[in-house]
Structure 1
Amino acid sequence: MKLIVDCQYFAPVILWRISTDLKHIVFDPYDRYQKMSFRNRTVVPGSNGPILLSVPLVDGREQRRPMKEVRIANDAAWQSQHFKTLKSCYNRSPWFQFFEHELAELYEKNFEWLLDWNLACWQWAASKIDGDFTMELTTGYQENYDPAEWLDLRNKVLPQTINQTFPDPVKYSQVFEDRLGFIPNCSVLDLIFCEGKNARRLLSKD
């Protein structure tokens, strides 16, 4: 079975577990952009609670164009701001120092299109957890897929409902868990920086 999903910014851990199980993920760049989605946002636990990192977009979030046509508003210094936030959140984590330089390089690259940035994020994270699944893009929009062959999660992994849609999250130790408790369904970066080489085992765990 293949997974088809919208391409997200350092997607939530649960989506990586599903990808690891199915081993074949297909992104739909022809699906229309949806506001209030993980397409341009990711969530990490901060010292006072969850922090939402949002990529600014040309024409804002109200657009309804295909994902492949969504431009990043690079007049805002969002990349440096996001990286500084990540460094602040994860300086105390066991694995951040091992990946800091490579992550900084990623955030220093220029991206015009949101799709290209998100794909780069998926590839970066996959290389850190030794993901053995394949990733590809659709060549056109298709509304319905055969459920016997496809798991269609387009527009179903959403910030507002993710904890209800996926009530059984991947569990691991988080930096601020002692004061905040476990915060489920955060960005895959949280798993990588907290668990490092153990991330793959946790994603594959039954």
Structure 2
Amino acid sequence: MNNILIHPTYFPNVAHFSAIVKADNVYFEVTDNFVKQTYRNRTYIYGANGKQTLNIPVVYSQKNRQLYSEVQIFNDENWQANHWKSLLSAYRTSPFFEYYEDELQPLFEEKEDNILNFNLKCINVICDCLQLDITPLQTTVFEKTPTNKTDLRYLVNAKKEPLYNFESYTQVFSTKHGFIENLSILDVLFNEGPNALNYLENQTLNSL
């Protein structure tokens, strides 16, 4: 059985989702401490100027350890509207943006206070878009060395990423900046549409 342990992140990238679609059972790590500068509250898209960061502001103090499940979103900033504008700017001309727009837009209009809950909601919507039928399980205790699961929690780190050598596909601005790999699942969805799931199934993580 291919059981994986992975973090639920903000619109997970290709590495995350390629692992998820091939797993027999997906366990989401929800009992860990929150760490800044990870994919827990950021994702990367392909804008007109190249790789672009979408970062969710959170209420967090590095001094006191805080559980991921307890971290609140800083909603005083109008980040949802800004992220949606960025997605419109980046993908409005992509082949399949209009196909998924109505499913995704409410995520940027309905207020959510908790970062983990918001990420889980985003992943549910993406699974619907992909027509991917999974029922993720959630951890109840934190295990430094998990048993009977492939530990993919390291994928949450946004710094010092390996070169995955994922297959290229046509991106909106690829004539400007070339192919950029391992972006948000949104990049694959908007550019590949119904073929997105097939694309994810065909990618290989070097570490597996």
TM over 0.5: yes
Matches within 5 A, 1:48-87: 48-59=49-60, 64-87=65-88
Tell me how far apart the structure 1 counterparts of residues 62 and 166 of structure 2 sit (CA, whole Å): 28
Map of 1:191 onto structure 2: 188
Q: Aligned AA for 2:188?
A: L
TM-score by length of structure 2 reads: 0.91
Superposed structure 1 runs of 4+ greater than 4 Å apart: 60-63
The runs of 5 or more residues in structure 1 that have no matched partner are: none
The runs of 5 or more residues in structure 2 that have no matched partner are: 204-208
Deviations 1:76-98 (A, max 9, x none): 10001000100110011000011
Tell me how far apart the structure 1 counterparts of residues 15 and 155 of structure 2 sit (CA, whole Å): 12
Tell me how far apart the structure 2 counterparts of residues 121 and 110 of structure 1 sit (CA, whole Å): 13
Cα distance change on mapping 1:37 and 1:62 into 2, 3 Å: farther
Cα distance change on mapping 1:61 and 1:122 into 2, 3 Å: farther
| 1:150 aligned onto 2:142 | no
| 1:99 aligned onto 2:96 | no
Q: In the comparison of the two structures, how many residue pairs are matched?
A: 202
Tell me how far apart the structure 2 counterparts of residues 3 and 161 of structure 1 sit (CA, whole Å): 22
Map of 1:115 onto structure 2: 116
- RMSD between aligned residues: 1.6
Tell me how far apart the structure 1 counterparts of residues 43 and 16 of structure 2 sit (CA, whole Å): 13
Deviations 1:87-117 (A, max 9, x none): 1100110000111122111211111100000
Tell me how far apart the structure 1 counterparts of residues 4 and 19 of structure 2 sit (CA, whole Å): 8
Q: Aligned AA for 1:6?
A: H
Report the alpha carbon displacement of residue 170 of structure 1 after superposing the two structures with TM: 4.2
Tell me how far apart the structure 2 counterparts of residues 61 and 85 of structure 1 sit (CA, whole Å): 28
Cα distance change on mapping 1:199 and 1:75 into 2, 3 Å: same
| 1:161 aligned onto 2:160 | yes
TM-score by length of structure 1 reads: 0.92
